[in-house]
Structure 1
Amino acid sequence: MEANNCFSTNKILELSQFIETNYGIKMPASKKVMLESRLRRRMRQVGYTSIAEYLDFVFSSEGKRHELGNMVDAITTNKTYFFREPKHFDILVAKVIPQIISSGFTPSPLRVWSSACSSGEEPYSIAMMLGELAEDNHRLKFNILASDLCTKVLKKACRAVYNEEEIKDIPLYYRKKYLLKSKESALGLVQVAEHLRNMITFRRINLMADDFGVKKRMHVIFCRNVLIYFQKDQQERLILKFGRQLEPGGFLFIGHSESLVGMNVPFCQVLPTVYQKISEF
């Protein structure tokens, strides 16, 4: 029995191993309290008082169909904001895109993938920058794929509605140009302009899956502040898969606390935390 609903060591180990194996998210013993707290919040929402009974349901046939994704949403971390690590966006438009164009890029759409987009701040930041660039180069067309493991944040990303605190890092020029204020000004809400929203396709993708299910190769992939949650071997496998997903000479952006040092992957560093694919494999 589960005395006083205490989360047993065996249960935390089993669940942690499942999460890491299937989703790549490290859940060491040091995160036990956080994990239990998030699980309790979710299980109360669906009417359970026992963690053991809740987990039995999650891993039942019915639970796997209807609740497993919700549990994963409940325990994942989704920290993001507009123009996070702003130098990356300057590098994208000032160096990376011009290099792709000069290498013989045709007018077919430039394809960018925000692979851990959370609630949409990163892909919308990219879209604003590329939108400006396209105004100066009318032949430049682009498509953005934005994905995340968490369905809850993807729904928010699709709605593209943010409050004043969430948009504080967007330059004023972009706020005026790309954000629409709510008719009820007291709410303090804005929505990303429709033409910008139409440039982005949102999808749920598990980066640990053998196949991303993305048919076309990308010219640029953003995967920032994700590797830190994975074990070293998982990091390398993911980077290899990104290499297969990139066009020859394509670019990969990672977070400033991350590195590909020591990995046997087909990338060379061109700038801090910016890598270019150098070979097929």
Structure 2
Amino acid sequence: MVLATDDCVRGRGQVIAKLIEGEAGIKLPPGKRLMVEGRLRKRMRALGQPDFASYCSLLFKQGGLERELTHLINAVTTNKTDFFREAEHFDFLVEHMVPTLLKARERNPLLKIWSAASSTGAEAYTLAMVLDDLQSQRSDFRFAILGTDISTAVLAQGRRAVYPAEMIAPVPPEMQARYLMHARRPGARREVRMVPELRRQVRFTHLNLMDQSYPFDRDVDVIFLRNVLIYFEKADQDAVVARLVDHLRPGGYIVLGHSESMIGTSLAVRQVAPAVFQKL
């Protein structure tokens, strides 16, 4: 995307929003211009840029766009996430998806689960807790979880697996006792951390869903892609879902957010529950 510094200064947040949409597929409407500007001011201060004109010059005249793009995306992306968000999907995973997958697999298979817009890791660790709990009951499978996101900042938090104590309220008490460690000397803000046994089951890595291909396995059992497609244009929604479905094994599942209708209806999938689709 070619922009002049003057265009950037005049358009400010709107120009940056167009840049983000082109690079990451995330659509930021004009009404969020002030939000974009506000989030970028912290980054500008960190770089010692006195005003928006200087920052635009850095981006478009001084060749700084390539190295700055990651920070731009970190600054403007929305990373709303919760543990056990839309909890019925995890119930369906335990009651239907895993049993169905195991029936069609060899003995003691490795189930591959992918949180494709993992944010700070709440979804990935919810999956880990749910699957580890199920494994303790039936012990006839192994599992590995991949979390991917475009924001390097949230990926770093996911790897640390440290969260504000108030964020774990939706986690059932028995799982809190089993999977969470509390600081012995909590500071002003109480924090918890996932136990090492659970952290070893989850891997986080960077991925831009707008990339034309994804460097991951093509025999994934379940992909969670919830509440991110709403930020994409229709054509990008279809392309992203098509690429992800291509990474599912036959009979694998893709789970969307309840606020999203099925994208890419021409794909070889069938709906098996609200926002849950199985690859044919």
- TM-score of the superposed pair, with normalisation by structure 1: 0.91
2:113–2:222 Cα contact (<8 Å) kept: yes
Map of 2:59 onto structure 1: 58
Map of 1:217 onto structure 2: 219
Cα distance, 1:207 vs. partner?
Answer: 0.6
Map of 2:234 onto structure 1: 232
- The structure-2 alpha-carbon separation of the partners of 1:201 and 1:216, relative to structure 1 and needing over 3 Å to count, comes to farther
- State how far apart, in whole Å, the 2-side matches of 1:234 and 1:150 are: 18
- State how far apart, in whole Å, the 2-side matches of 1:65 and 1:105 are: 46
Cα distance, 1:204 vs. partner?
Answer: 0.7
User: Counterpart amino acid of 1:264?
Assistant: S
Map of 1:163 onto structure 2: 164
- State how far apart, in whole Å, the 2-side matches of 1:28 and 1:75 are: 12
1:2–1:50 Cα contact (<8 Å) kept: no
Structural mapping, 1:71-220, within 5 Å? 71-186=72-187, 187-220=189-222
Cα distance, 1:111 vs. partner?
Answer: 0.1
Cα distance, 1:262 vs. partner?
Answer: 6.7
Structural mapping, 1:12-51, within 5 Å? 12-51=13-52
- State how far apart, in whole Å, the 1-side matches of 2:39 and 2:186 are: 34
- The structure-2 alpha-carbon separation of the partners of 1:51 and 1:121, relative to structure 1 and needing over 3 Å to count, comes to same
Cα distance, 1:30 vs. partner?
Answer: 2.0
Cα distance, 1:85 vs. partner?
Answer: 0.7
Cα distance, 1:137 vs. partner?
Answer: 2.2
2:119–2:155 Cα contact (<8 Å) kept: yes
- The structure-2 alpha-carbon separation of the partners of 1:108 and 1:101, relative to structure 1 and needing over 3 Å to count, comes to closer
Per mean C-alpha deviation after superposition, the further-off stretch among 136-145 and 12-21 is 12-21
User: Counterpart amino acid of 1:110?
Assistant: L
Q: How many pairs were matched up?
A: 275
Residue 166 of structure 1 aligns to a residue in which SS? helix
User: Counterpart amino acid of 1:155?
Assistant: A
5+ residue gaps, structure 1? none
- TM-score of the superposed pair, with normalisation by structure 2: 0.91
1:236–1:265 Cα contact (<8 Å) kept: no
5+ residue gaps, structure 2? none
1:113–1:218 Cα contact (<8 Å) kept: yes
Provide, for residues 95-131 of structure 1, a one-character-per-residue CA deviation record: whole Å limited to 9, x for no partner. 1111111123542310000011111110000000000
- The structure-2 alpha-carbon separation of the partners of 1:266 and 1:159, relative to structure 1 and needing over 3 Å to count, comes to same
**4+ residue stretches of structure 1 with deviation over 6 A?**
none
Map of 1:253 onto structure 2: 255
- State how far apart, in whole Å, the 1-side matches of 2:34 and 2:234 are: 24
User: Counterpart amino acid of 1:32?
Assistant: R
Provide, for residues 69-96 of structure 1, a one-character-per-residue CA deviation record: whole Å limited to 9, x for no partner. 1111001000111111111110111111
Residue 128 of structure 1 aligns to a residue in which SS? helix
1:7–1:36 Cα contact (<8 Å) kept: no
User: Counterpart amino acid of 1:265?
Assistant: L
CA RMSD of aligned residues (A): 2.2
Residue 20 of structure 1 aligns to a residue in which SS? helix
- State how far apart, in whole Å, the 1-side matches of 2:269 and 2:59 are: 40
- The structure-2 alpha-carbon separation of the partners of 1:113 and 1:262, relative to structure 1 and needing over 3 Å to count, comes to closer
- The structure-2 alpha-carbon separation of the partners of 1:57 and 1:263, relative to structure 1 and needing over 3 Å to count, comes to farther
- State how far apart, in whole Å, the 2-side matches of 1:61 and 1:267 are: 48
User: Counterpart amino acid of 2:53?
Assistant: A
- The structure-2 alpha-carbon separation of the partners of 1:254 and 1:61, relative to structure 1 and needing over 3 Å to count, comes to farther
